[in-house]
Structure 1
């Protein structure tokens, strides 16, 4: 899919992170590998610390906390909200939906559209796409886009491949119409034939959770996990990023959709520092314009990674001036996409901690 959106902008961004911090150095005893071998990954992959929510906390908890914070601080009025879009892999329940839970707990009226989208790594780009389309039918309203996951609940603490990467977080982005906004280029690709490269085998209707799916096993690579746990085939995802994602980016720059030198910031999904470094080298992206520090400070928060990267690194700049940005995400699905849009002169931009 390739398209353009007109007359749309981001007006505010909030990052919400749990206060609990897990330190990589404290977790190396969980793994069945020599400590010295495990510590070598710290520098290469960018492991250091990650944010972990309580076992009882859910995505709707983060969404309610964040939206109430925005409402109480006057970022937006309830009557201005036309839709709540939640993009997550972590529903509180099969029914009701997280968007309805958030809208109900925040006291929004029954005229507000509530919509859940089950997407992971590309969740921010897909959420923006849906928000832009809704705004075409909500000319005098704004859309509240919530991206969030608590995937630490679904990853084995004895899995060195996956657990050091994960980070729990949510972001809330306010999107609205603006006739003066520059055109937004949007491109998205999906290939379900490779979807098993990032998967939680059990928990849905195909394989319901059971005592058997909860059994921890060494699956042959020294990492212990159950069928209830998420697993990423690291080599497959790395090759996918270096081939499909790199080819997409090279193509858009070769077609002069945008010029690398004209981009102020590259806000990319944050799988790990090593993967981003290799992607930057292949595409020719200056490393001083591509932030790679989210995993070492927060972990990889799935679909919230792009807005959280922007908030963490560029809040003051995004509040004070407009910047030409390249947004790219890639991962679960498999899915990969890219956007070019101006982000800046925001009304509000902030990160807050919560006890969740």
Structure 2
């Protein structure tokens, strides 16, 4: 069992940014028809989402979130010892997006920076990675974990199963070493590579670099090219309603906790029906499981942080809450984490359309200019 317990490390702050552009799910009725859209809304709960512009990326959103968070906390960039970017939406095929964030934020060259290629489980896996790094380093006292995706950019616009589902967001989590023995982070992770085809963008990687761009009609009646997102709905649904409740119960058993020990369940916002099924099988009260996909869609790895920012970002009670988060999806990959956080360290959801124009290249000769 891949269980991890980290002592004397705390989550010192979280923030999340979405673009200002709002797409209403009902706006798809001219494309898919009233009946299809109404059915989709009822099943998924998604009534609107936020979408990025052509050149805006997940790191742009994360940069805004991190800048605001560090400003609020009074933390200087030179205090950050690690930058980890966990996402399936990098700025470039190479280099790692973490380096761009390091450069933009002014984080010193002594910091460690790299990417983790993960989607909906990026938060729980990222928590394990950063906490483990910090616990085994004498020098890293503060670190930033970036998560999120711009999944809508890889969806075929005429794919009724996915075009209305995804929202886009970028989130950041600040880690800090603590002298308080009560500060601990627990994580339980699982993986199943036999489901690699269940959620996939098969073209554009180095196995099929020059895959055809033209779409074909798939067996489920949706057009897609090999460069588009593909979701095998039935297999994904079966995975989420059986394996996810099991890992939640195993996590409670391993940590000697129960459903009542947590103030908030910040779960990946896959769709409303799946969340209700998970809650039913684990007896998690829905009032403890904040829902944000109705307004923001499925925002992949950022969705748990987005939900915390939505629920507690304007809280004035200055209370410490015990949070359990759960991520599950592409890979297949899933897991749980728990941590305490003060509500004063949770920022409200930010909206921003900033694009890192220095990183937009339309001509290879632009790369010869010095930074």
TM-score category of the 2 structures, normalised to the smaller one: over 0.9
Query: 1:85 and 1:55, CA in 2 relative to 1: closer, same or farther beyond 3 A?
Result: same
Conserved? CA contact 2:314–2:348, under 8 Å: no
Query: 1:105 and 1:43, CA in 2 relative to 1: closer, same or farther beyond 3 A?
Result: same
**What per-residue deviation string (whole Å, max 9, x for no partner) do you get for residues 105-156 of structure 1?**
2222211111111110110111111111222215563101111211111011
Conserved? CA contact 1:319–1:344, under 8 Å: no
Greater CA drift, 66-75 or 187-196: 66-75
Conserved? CA contact 1:89–1:120, under 8 Å: yes
Cα RMSD (Å): 1.9
CA distance in 2, matches of 1:348, 1:192: 34
Indicate yes or no: 2:235 matched with 1:245.
no
Mapping for residues 56-75 of structure 1, pairs under 5 Å: 56-73=55-72, 75=74
Structure 2: gaps (5+ residues): 355-371
Query: 1:196 and 1:110, CA in 2 relative to 1: closer, same or farther beyond 3 A?
Result: same
Corresponding residue SS for 2:214: coil
Conserved? CA contact 1:190–1:336, under 8 Å: yes
CA distance in 1, matches of 2:73, 2:321: 25
Alpha-carbon offset, residue 59 of structure 1: 2.4
CA distance in 1, matches of 2:313, 2:151: 26
Greater CA drift, 175-184 or 15-24: 175-184
CA distance in 1, matches of 2:110, 2:21: 37
**What per-residue deviation string (whole Å, max 9, x for no partner) do you get for residues 204-229 of structure 1?**
0011144x2x1122212221221101
Corresponding residue SS for 1:148: strand
Tell me the matched-pair count.
351
Greater CA drift, 139-148 or 12-21: 139-148
Greater CA drift, 256-265 or 275-284: 256-265
TM-score by length of 2: 0.89
Query: 1:75 and 1:302, CA in 2 relative to 1: closer, same or farther beyond 3 A?
Result: farther
Query: 1:160 and 1:191, CA in 2 relative to 1: closer, same or farther beyond 3 A?
Result: same
Query: What does residue 257 of structure 2 align with?
Result: 258
Query: What does residue 177 of structure 1 align with?
Result: 177
Query: What does residue 92 of structure 2 align with?
Result: 93
**What per-residue deviation string (whole Å, max 9, x for no partner) do you get for residues 161-189 of structure 1?**
11211111101111111121333321100
Query: What does residue 40 of structure 2 align with?
Result: 41
TM-score by length of 1: 0.93
Alpha-carbon offset, residue 280 of structure 1: 0.7
CA distance in 1, matches of 2:34, 2:270: 23
CA distance in 2, matches of 1:319, 1:86: 31
**What per-residue deviation string (whole Å, max 9, x for no partner) do you get for residues 1-36 of structure 1?**
0121111111111111000011110013233xx422
Structure 1: gaps (5+ residues): none
Alpha-carbon offset, residue 269 of structure 1: 0.7
**What per-residue deviation string (whole Å, max 9, x for no partner) do you get for residues 287-342 of structure 1?**
11112x22211111111111111111122449711112211111111011112222
Corresponding residue SS for 1:103: helix
Query: What does residue 130 of structure 1 align with?
Result: 129
CA distance in 2, matches of 1:186, 1:153: 31
Alpha-carbon offset, residue 68 of structure 1: 3.2
**What per-residue deviation string (whole Å, max 9, x for no partner) do you get for residues 79-101 of structure 1?**
21111111110111122210101
Corresponding residue SS for 2:287: coil
Conserved? CA contact 2:80–2:141, under 8 Å: yes
